[in-house]
A = this chain, B = another copy of it.
Amino acid sequence: MINWLEQIAWNEQGLIPVIAQDVHTGVVLMFAWMNREALQLSVKEQRAVYWSRSRNRLWFKGEESGNIQHLKDIRLDCDNDVILLKVEQQGGVACHTGRESCFYQQLQQENWVAVDPVLKDPATLYKK
């Protein structure tokens, strides 16, 4: 039997792209990456743990903001190279700008326009 981690087609950097979706509303919240350790920790703790490519370290989502993502469903795509997480988004805010979703810029006649409301002041999001 193939180990569930071995079945994943990790990329050349040992990473897999991850989409996080709100399990209740269906809103696509954010996109990030995981390495093997991040995925194992996510499953073990039932919360999203990503690999930060900019900081080159594990990123326990919500570690500063408190906006933890509790895992409700973990999916793998047909090519075994993308993960979809269905999550309960604590605090209702996934984006560091204080919006529900990171995908708040809409293409309108050759302009990207911020169309979604800021729900929490980002200045207060990252105070412990």
Q: Measuring CB to CB, which residues of chain A are less than 8 angstroms from any residue of chain B?
A: 3-4, 7, 17, 19, 21, 25-28, 30-31, 43, 73-80, 82, 84, 95-97, 99, 102-107, 110-112
- CB–CB A73/B112 < 8 A: no
Residues on B with beta carbons closer than 8 Å to the beta carbon of A96 = 78
How many copies of the shown chain assemble into the complex?
A: 2
A103 to B73, CA, bound (A): 11
Contact with A31, one of B17, B43, B102, B107 (Cβ below 8 angstroms): B17
With contact pairs A31-B82, A84-B28, A103-B84 given, residues A110 and B75 touching in the complex (Cβ less than 8 Å): no
Tell me, in angstroms, the Cα distance from A43 to B80 when the chains sit together: 29
CA distance A27 to B77 in the complex (A): 13
